[in-house]
Chains A and B, each alone.
Chain A
Amino acid sequence: MSASSAGKSSVVMHALKDALIAGIVAFGLFVLLLGFLADDTLGKLRPLPRPVLLAAAVGIVFVGRFLISLIYYNAAALRVLLGELFVAAFALAKRFRFVLLALMIVLAFVWIYRVPDDWPLVATIIITILFAVWLGLTPALLALAVLFPVAFYSNPYYLGIAIIILTYVMLGWGLNIVVGLAGLLDLGYVAFYAVGAYSYAIIAQAYGWSFWVCLPLAGLFAAFFGVLLGFPVLRLRGDYLAIVTLAFGEIVRIVLLNWISLTNGPNGIGSIPRASFFGIPFTADDDGFAARFGFEFDPTHRTVFLFYLILALALITNWVTIRLRKLPVGRAWEALREDEIAVRSLGINPTNTKLTAFAIGAMFGGFAGAFFATRQGFISPDSFTFPESALILAIVVLGGMGSQIGVAIAAIVMTASFELFREFEQFRLVIFGFAMVGIMIWRPRGLISSREPSVYLKERKTISAEHVAEGHG
């Protein structure tokens, strides 16, 4: 008995020591970052001490580290306790699911009462959740996507956000081919997005060709750059591949910045031709979309059209990826991710396999870039920085490498939460970081980490993540 109590006190001491060290490190880190505010209200710059904020930050680290250490040193006992709690909570939730549903509806009403303008959004979220429970996630999300502009026709802000979300869904799906299927870690994916956007902007301005001609050209250019990147990195794996792709992304951006005669450098390219409805422009003129189809002119027409355009592009990306997975080339990608040596021994050309993955992934990035250019009407190298690449990669990794629906959910959550936390601008990255850490602790292989086999003999069994390789480069 005394031994165990001694053990307990030493555990507490250990945790305290840990927490103290963490607290000191946190103090050292935060004393300048949070402890002082550079204030220039009186015309001269002076440091304004913020002891409360500093103390709060250090306190959070201290207490947090203390608790984590306690949990860590008592891992087994706590895991049992947490497991029981979780099971009990789950059983309780199941038993009172109608109460929970009612609670959700009440919460929704509270939300609507506080922000009346939000009611369509709240209703949409609830209907989507109900649909997802009854029919499954994929049909619910698809129905949401198709009906979204109908529900939010009068709210261009939401439409705009939805367009951004869909762009990232498409980029995530494009990168998923390279990272998720072929297992090639690409940190410079935004380069292809940039190539697509710039080639669309330059071609459309120089030749005045329509969106539907320039879009495939932009995709082709991006695919060409994908092959261009692919060749030098064929022999590289893992960290080395990541470094070179990172550099490639930077090279493309720096070239865009400095090749002023072509790209107009840091000033960017403006007045890029807008997308037209198969040749009919969205203008208030007599031959504009509204006049031709007998509508009242409304700038939202263009937004709705852009929404369906990016939705179609994203769904094409998804469809092609799903088809490719069931074709020899897709199986070769996945085999390459699992074991490159075995792939060679079966007579599969690893060079071609890698290059097609880079090229097709890049092509979809290029399509998304062309869409971005036509939507914005203005592009500059500022839109294609490394954090963009990191965000797209984060979407793929958090969604679960190789999983289409997982990537879509991750794109929605990440992009929407960026909007949701717009008021807490300075804490956005902190929240983002916490979300990443959380996912990596609880679902280290992403939200949906299992793999669907591409072919089956008797029954399709989902393959759990433990068997699936992540790729080495």
Chain B
Amino acid sequence: MARDAILALNGLTMQFGGLLAVDDLSFEAKRGDITALIGPNGAGKTTVFNCITGFYEPTSGAIRVNHADGKTFALEKLPDFKIAKRVHVARTFQNIRLFPGMTALENLMVAQHNVLMRASGFTVFGLFGLPGYRRAEREAVELARYWLEKTALTDRADDPAGSLPYGAQRRLEIARAMCTKPVLLCLDEPAAGLNPRESDELNVLLRAIQKESDASILLIEHDMNVVMEISNHIVVLDHGKKISEGAPEFIRNDPKVIAAYLGVEEDAVDAAEAEVGA
């Protein structure tokens, strides 16, 4: 596996009873790149995400994350919260999962739990308001303020997350993931439900993350406007298998990808039927 790969999947397989959701999938995502994972509905994209972020334990296969300092982590055996805590892989969810009753700022503070927990001496120092913790909390608020500005949410910082409009909730979820200082940011359909203007703004935000932070991005997306414009590398899944991989230009013209999305041409169906003897 190349050292410049932030994420490498090798033979990842996920089976639910009789259903093979992901079948022997291997690909790499380069450090600093935006890698997109696309495919028709039910192709197994979210399952791959859940395996990477530890919400599922894969049936077999290896998932490796390389940090810039040379450390390598095997993700397939780590539980979900340890992947976020130690390996610094952050994620968002297809159906937004914010803390709706907490303010936008509080959401971003929860994301910095582990840093603040250490600073508060696992609650003991924090309970008595020692200066070390207060400084750490100020820094945490500053980081939150930085990401609130990046996501244009500063004005709504003190409003409950549940009261924000849909697009703002999507951005807040990304800001929350960024507050964990990730090396790999996994976005599950970040443009779902956004209008064209909002998805353009999302492109700008993701490019800014790519340029200004240490995070590489892996995203699942159906919105081809977003995918084709910002990703450096695209992996196409269909029925749990990788059917194609390459730069956006290559994918756009790959007949296998077009067939998977639009259905195969008629003579191909005839050929297949002849094969099975129908």
In the bound complex, do residue B93 and residue A342 qualify as a contact, i.e. CB atoms below 8 Å apart? yes
Residue A2 at the chain B interface, CB threshold 8 Å: no
- Interface check A460, CB cutoff 8 A: yes
In the complex the two chains form, is A346's CB within 8 Å of B176's CB?
Answer: yes
For B, the interface residue count at a CB cutoff of 8 angstroms equals 50
Interface string of A303-327 (1 = CB under 8 A from B): 0000000000000000010011001
A327 lies within 8 A of B158 (CB)? no
Interface membership of A329, Cβ < 8 A: yes
> Is A459 part of the contact surface with B, judged by Cβ < 8 Å?
yes
Interface: B103 (CB within 8 A): yes
Q: Beta-carbon contacts of B128-169 to A below 8 Å, as 1s and 0s?
A: 010001000100010001001000001001111111000000
B93 contacts A469, C-beta separation under 8 Å = no
Let me know if B109 and A467 touch, CB within 8 A: no
Selecting from A125-133, A330-338, A369-377, the interface stretch reads A330-338
Interchain CB contact under 8 A, B53 and A345: yes
A356 vs B120: C-alpha distance in the bound complex, in angstroms? Answer: 15
Contact B127 A332 (CB under 8 A): no
| B100 CB-CB contact with A under 8 Å | yes
Contact A457 B80 (CB under 8 A): no
CA distance A466 to B101 in the complex (A): 8
- Is B103 in contact with A463, judged by CB distance below 8 angstroms? yes
Contact B97 A457 (CB under 8 A): no
> A348 and B81 in contact (CB under 8 A), knowing A328-B117, A456-B158, A460-B158?
yes
Closest Cβ–Cβ distance, residue B208 to chain A (whole Å): 21
Q: Are A467 and B162 in contact (CB under 8 A)?
A: yes
User: Is the beta-carbon distance between A328 and B120 smaller than 8 angstroms?
Assistant: yes
Interface status of B102 (Cβ within 8 A of chain A):
yes
Nearest opposing residue in chain A for B156, CB measure: A457
Encoded as 1 (CB less than 8 Å from any B CB) or 0, chain A from 440 to 473 comes to 0000000000010111111111011011110000
Contact with B along A331-373 (1 / 0, CB 8 A): 1101101110111111111100000100000000000000000
Separation of A128 and B228 alpha carbons in the complex (Å): 68
Partner among B85, B102, B148 whose Cβ is within 8 Å of the Cβ of A334: B102
Chain A residues whose C-beta falls within 8 Å of the C-beta of B106 in the assembled complex: 331, 334, 453-455
Least CB distance, A229 to chain B, in whole angstroms: 21
Structural contact, A455 and B81, CB atoms closer than 8 A? no
Q: CB distance A344 to B81 under 8 Å?
A: yes
CA distance A328 to B123 in the complex (A): 8
Contact partner, B109, options A356, A455, A460, A464, Cβ 8 Å: A455
Interface status of B114 (Cβ within 8 A of chain A): yes
B103-120: contact bitstring with A at CB < 8 Å (1 yes, 0 no)?
A: 101100111111011001
Chain B contacts for A339, CB-based, 8 A: 97-100
Residue from the list B55, B82, B103, B116 in contact with A456, Cβ < 8 A: B103
Chain B residues in contact with chain A, CB under 8 A? Answer: 53, 55, 80-86, 90-91, 93, 97-103, 105-106, 109-114, 116-117, 120, 123, 126-127, 129, 133, 137, 141, 145, 148, 154, 157-163, 176-177, 180
Hey, which bits of chain A sit against chain B, CB under 8 A? 320, 323-324, 327-329, 331-332, 334-335, 337-339, 341-350, 356, 451, 453-461, 463-464, 466-469
7 additional A-B pairs beyond A328-B112, A345-B84, A453-B103, beta carbons within 8 Å, are A334-B99, A338-B101, A339-B99, A346-B81, A347-B113, A455-B103, A455-B105
**13 residue pairs from A and B, CB less than 8 Å apart:** A320-B127, A323-B127, A338-B102, A344-B81, A346-B180, A348-B85, A356-B123, A453-B103, A455-B109, A457-B105, A457-B158, A467-B163, A468-B160
